[in-house]
Amino acid sequence: MEREARLRAETRAVWATVLCFVVGALTGILLLEGGGGTRPLTGEGSLAMPVAAIAGIVAAAAFLTSTLLHRRGETAPMPRWQTVVSNLSTIALTVAFGAVTVMGVLLAAEVLAAGLEGLRLGAVGGGLLAGVASAVGGRFAFGAAIGLRTADLAALLFGFLVIGTLFAMVTAADPRWWETNFSQLGSGSWAFNGTLVVAGLLVATVGSYIGRDLHRMLGDDALGRIAAVVALWAATGVALAAVGLLPLQRVPIPHDVAASATLVLFAAAAATTVAAIPGLPRALMITSLGVGLLIVVAVVSWFPFGLYSATALEAVVVGLGLLWMATLVRVLAILVPPQSRPSARRTLLRDRAGPP
């Protein structure tokens, strides 16, 4: 029975992929037909941006459709506040999957343009390219919405940061930005700043899913602690988004404040999350202590010894933070029961339980 259900789900995903291709290709042909002539893959008047926009919209629609299809009725037994949190997470993820697809297509276009120098495509060729990009992005988003776990979101965050940063690097106006720090990469670059904004949205959403996992483990009695965990992750996401919204070259002091706040809030959110997990698992304890020690060593190696640049330090700290988060979500995937757990509380502010 389970095998048949999985085969039906796979068939549904295949049809969703076909539909995404058709919609993307037809939209691309109609949109590009008005421009006339042929276009390069990248550069002024290129195919990259319209193809990426089409694929991003299709992927976002695919995720939302799959969510409504596979998780219909999941929030029915939940109180209003829990339903609102779940719906807000779905909206944030819809935007995130669209943004991930856009950045992925733009980066792929840069790579293809370097390998296929001089290639130009007309409306039909560009439309087919949009169809392929939409099919890939739509298939990924459609499948992700089925049984989405916190570990999946952490992987999405990591992948998006890598893709967005690489695209910002290959399109950077200043090729020597790395001599200063990563904030310099955002000087006049919408790609890096936009990546930070969407990454902030993803961090806040990961925090919401961490709260969901903790509630499934601990129940309503721990809602106060869980709310603190979710609030700290949300604040971390807001601070990270502010780093992108407040570019260094325009508002240096607010930018530096937002960057520092992101690091402090991430550390606070991590510590609060670890403290909320009952019977702290050894894998998470070892990783937490090891990451903390390595960050101290990295900072000391940078200042006062100056063994490497600030850019390298930032890359090390972010990488270690993502390593810690990967361990956290994998531990949660082992501990957390897969079933949804509606809260018996009608509000977060009261201890009184609602009707059964």
- pLDDT for 349 equals 66
Nearest C-alpha neighbor of 130 from the set 62, 56, 57, 54 = 54
Please count the residues of the chain.
Answer: 356
Burial profile 45-56: b = 16 or more Cβ within 10 angstroms, e = fewer: ebbbebbbbbbb
Q: Name which of 202, 164, 208, 218 is nearest 186 in CA terms.
A: 164
pLDDT band at 355 (very low <50, low <70, confident <90, very high): very low
Q: Mind listing the pLDDT tens digit for each residue in 163-195?
A: 999 999 988 888 888 888 898 888 777 899 999
Instruction: Give pLDDT, residue 291.
Output: 95
Q: Specify the range with the lowest mean pLDDT, choosing from 5-14, 90-99, 131-140, 157-166.
A: 5-14
Look at residue 173 in the predicted model and tell me its pLDDT: 81
Is residue 255's pLDDT more than 90? yes
Residue 356, pLDDT above cutoff 50: no
Q: Six-digit token pair at 332? A: 């949660």
- Cβ within 8 Å of residue 60, ≥6 positions away: 94, 95, 97, 98, 101, 141
pTM for this one? 0.89
Tens of pLDDT along 87-128?
A: 999 999 999 999 999 999 999 999 999 999 999 999 999 999
Query: Which residue would you say has higher pLDDT here, 351 or 198?
Result: 198
**Are the beta carbons of 331 and 283 closer than 8 angstroms?**
yes
Boundaries of every domain in the chain: 1-148, 151-350
